């Protein structure tokens, strides 16, 4: 892979910044999760996970695909301060409108269904995460390729969460404070991110231009639908498992899934680092770069799988020391297989298709995979409970990779 010296220095800096954050982001749950499980018990832990899974749908609505579309717009206009301010103002304007609409929708759902009404305070407190994510301009920092700001600000939020959990959570009834602490961390990070953008990079608030607002909203729609479809095989899995079983089973599954997600999250910095840089290339060059990355993605994924699979029992014992969770160790081993497929899936769908602006194709792939996942989760969970849920996750990762490779080969013939 040919990377110029200047680009290599910038990419390395961004990758190290994001990797540092992601390692911290992965380690903190491994510290707090065993503690929360011991203090709150599996049932209350499952309730908190269920609330977070539900609230993440609203997070997708307020993001509306801007983490890719706005990042690309900022990267393309990085030397035009007036244009950057216009993009910033337009994105924040749309996101705030979507936030208020999301809050209204949340309230309607909570007070329309008994399942949500009984724990209404948990859902409202968890919704603070959406407000924090709405404020935090991650797309701006990615666009100007200053990933260290993302790392530092998220470190502040995660550190706040870590210390607050041990400071305020001491008994089972303290479960109500967990979503409050989590939301507070995200809100602090969001406010600091806005202040940094305004003061350091002299972002000005401009009145959004209607034509440009319409254009950016429309262009992001495909990415939003893709993100929503992605949620059909991420947050929806936990949501459906919680609906179809109970908080106890969901708590066990979530405890194991958090480890897998923590490892998968380590692939994210590479994607976030490469995306602004790759987006500036011509389609032919992007295609060549992706080809060269395939081997690296496979090696990284396979190594992660082998480590977790071989030491699965030791990992679960060290982290949780729970006989309830250990009795479902097979579920954890099934989930580790997804680590082989995940980096390759991200390479083809998230990086390649987005970089060449094949938003519609990406949307179609994710819609198909999303609905297939919902279907398989419902059917397999109904017949095989938590084991069926794990198999549905693995099956979806395989289908996602299959379509990603299929379109990569198909588009190769056109370029």
The region that residue 65 occupies, defined by phi over 0 for left and psi between -120 and 50 for alpha, beta otherwise, is left
Pick the residue with more confidence: 36 or 355?
A: 36
The helix/strand/coil state of 233 is: coil
In this structure, how many other beta carbons lie within 10 angstroms of the beta carbon of residue 353? 23
Quick one: 104 exposed, middle or buried, by C-beta within 10 A (0-12, 13-18, 19+)?
exposed
pLDDT of 292 reads 86
The region that residue 241 occupies, defined by phi over 0 for left and psi between -120 and 50 for alpha, beta otherwise, is alpha
Q: Comparing C-alpha atoms, which of 22, 33, 26 is closest to residue 321?
A: 33
- Apex 368 CA angle, 363 and 372, nearest 5: 145
pLDDT of 32 reads 87
Question: For 285-322, how does the pLDDT look when each residue is reduced to its tens digit (9 = 90+)?
Answer: 888 888 888 998 899 999 999 999 999 999 999 888 77
Q: What is the mean pLDDT of the chain?
A: 86
CA trace torsion 111, 367, 242, 37 (10° rounding): -110
Q: Are 93 and 208 in contact (CB under 8 A)?
A: yes
125: enclosing H helix or E strand: helix 120-126
The tokens describing 179, both together, are 């979503």
pLDDT of 1 reads 46
Q: Are 83 and 77 in contact (CB under 8 A)?
A: yes
pTM, whole model, 2 decimals?
Answer: 0.77
Pick the residue with more confidence: 99 or 411?
A: 99
- Cα–Cα distance measured from residue 146 to residue 277, given in angstroms and rounded to the nearest whole number: 12
pLDDT of 221 reads 85
Helical H segments across 64-80, by residue range: 66-76
Whole-number CA gyration radius for the chain: 21
pLDDT of 351 reads 83
pLDDT of 414 reads 64
Residue where the block lists tokens 């579920």: 331
Q: Comparing C-alpha atoms, which of 15, 75, 69 is closest to residue 267?
A: 15
Question: For 179-218, how does the pLDDT look when each residue is reduced to its tens digit (9 = 90+)?
Answer: 999 999 999 999 999 999 888 888 888 888 888 888 889 8
pLDDT of 105 reads 97
Quick one: 122 exposed, middle or buried, by C-beta within 10 A (0-12, 13-18, 19+)?
buried
């Amino acid at each position: 892979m040919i990377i110029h010296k200047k680009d290599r220095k910038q990419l390395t800096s961004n990758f190290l910044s994001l990797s540092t954050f992601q390692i911290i982001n992965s380690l903190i749950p491994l510290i707090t999760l065993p503690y929360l499980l011991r203090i709150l018990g599996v049932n209350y832990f499952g309730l908190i996970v269920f609330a977070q899974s539900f609230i993440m749908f609203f997070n997708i609505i307020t993001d509306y695909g801007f983490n890719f579309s706005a990042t690309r717009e900022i990267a393309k206009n990085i030397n035009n301060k007036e244009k950057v301010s216009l993009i910033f103002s337009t994105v924040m304007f749309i996101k705030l409108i979507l936030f208020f609409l999301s809050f209204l929708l949340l309230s309607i759902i909570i007070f329309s269904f008994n399942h949500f009404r009984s724990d209404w305070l948990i859902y409202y407190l968890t919704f603070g995460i959406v407000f924090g994510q709405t404020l935090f301009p991650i797309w701006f920092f990615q666009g100007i390729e200053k990933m260290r700001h993302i790392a530092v600000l998220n470190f502040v939020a995660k550190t706040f969460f870590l210390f607050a959990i041990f400071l305020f959570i001491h008994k089972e009834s303290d479960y109500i404070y967990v979503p409050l602490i989590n939301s507070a961390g995200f809100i602090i990070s969001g406010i600091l991110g806005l202040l940094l953008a305004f003061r350091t990079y002299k972002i000005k608030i401009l009145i959004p231009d209607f034509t440009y607002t319409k254009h950016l909203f429309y262009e992001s729609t495909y990415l939003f639908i893709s993100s929503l479809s992605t949620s059909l095989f991420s947050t929806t899995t936990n949501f459906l498992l919680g609906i179809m079983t109970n908080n106890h089973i969901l708590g066990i599954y979530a405890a194991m899934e958090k480890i897998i997600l923590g490892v998968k999250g380590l692939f994210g910095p590479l994607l976030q680092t490469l995306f602004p840089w790759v987006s500036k290339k011509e389609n032919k060059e992007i295609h060549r770069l992706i080809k060269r990355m395939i081997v690296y993605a496979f090696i990284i994924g396979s190594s992660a799988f082998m480590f977790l699979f071989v030491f699965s029992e030791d990992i679960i014992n060290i982290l949780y020391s729970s006989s309830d969770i250990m009795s479902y160790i097979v579920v954890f081993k099934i989930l580790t297989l997804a680590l082989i497929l995940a980096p390759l899936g991200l390479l083809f769908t998230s990086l390649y298709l987005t970089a060449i602006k094949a938003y519609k194709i990406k949307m179609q792939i994710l819609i198909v995979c999303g609905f297939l996942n919902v279907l398989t989760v419902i059917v397999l969970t109904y017949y095989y409970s938590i084991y069926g849920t794990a198999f549905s996750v693995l099956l979806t990762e395989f289908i996602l990779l299959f379509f990603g490779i299929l379109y990569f080969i198909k588009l190769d013939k056109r370029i």
